[in-house]
């Protein structure tokens, strides 16, 4: 268990630093007021976790330890959006299209509502 936690923590450390560095694009690159660094992190992280999932399904090259380090740790530290996208991919693979729509809707809309309510709550303090 401790070994797994260290693998995830080390991967998360590296992924978080990479996220910070890529997110610095928000300070220098402008495209219609879109946070380009965050968009880059989310899309790149989704590609990376999809690529790793494909490799893990097709061969034994990624041991369970490497999957923890790369997918949970590195990708998780880089972006949690990649995990969300990968979970939807797994639902699609299992033929659960309704679950994909439900999970996506319940993640995005309540997520926006929660961030808004959290923000509004600070005005009450």
pLDDT in tens, 38-69: 888 988 888 999 999 999 988 899 999 999 99
Q: Which residues of the chain have pLDDT under 70?
A: 125
Sign of CA dihedral 27, 29, 34, 35: negative
The pTM assigned to this predicted structure is 0.77
Task: Name the residue with tokens 């300070």.
Answer: 27
pLDDT (0 to 100) of residue 125: 67
pLDDT (0 to 100) of residue 103: 92
Distance between CA 17 and CA 76 in Å, rounded?
Answer: 12
pLDDT (0 to 100) of residue 6: 98
pLDDT (0 to 100) of residue 20: 92
């Amino acid at each position: 268990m401790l070994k797994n936690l260290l693998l995830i923590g080390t991967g998360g450390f590296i992924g978080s630093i990479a996220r910070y560095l890529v997110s610095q694009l928000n300070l220098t690159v402008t495209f219609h007021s879109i946070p380009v660094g965050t968009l880059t992190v989310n899309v790149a992280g989704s590609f990376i976790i999809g690529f790793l999932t494909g490799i893990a399904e097709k061969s034994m090259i990624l041991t369970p330890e490497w999957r923890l380090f790369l997918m949970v740790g590195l990708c998780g530290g880089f972006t949690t959006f990649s995990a969300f996208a990968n979970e939807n991919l797994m639902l699609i693979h299992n033929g659960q299209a309704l679950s994909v729509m439900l999970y996506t809707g319940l993640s995005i809309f309540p997520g926006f509502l929660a961030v808004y309510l959290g923000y509004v709550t600070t005005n009450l303090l």
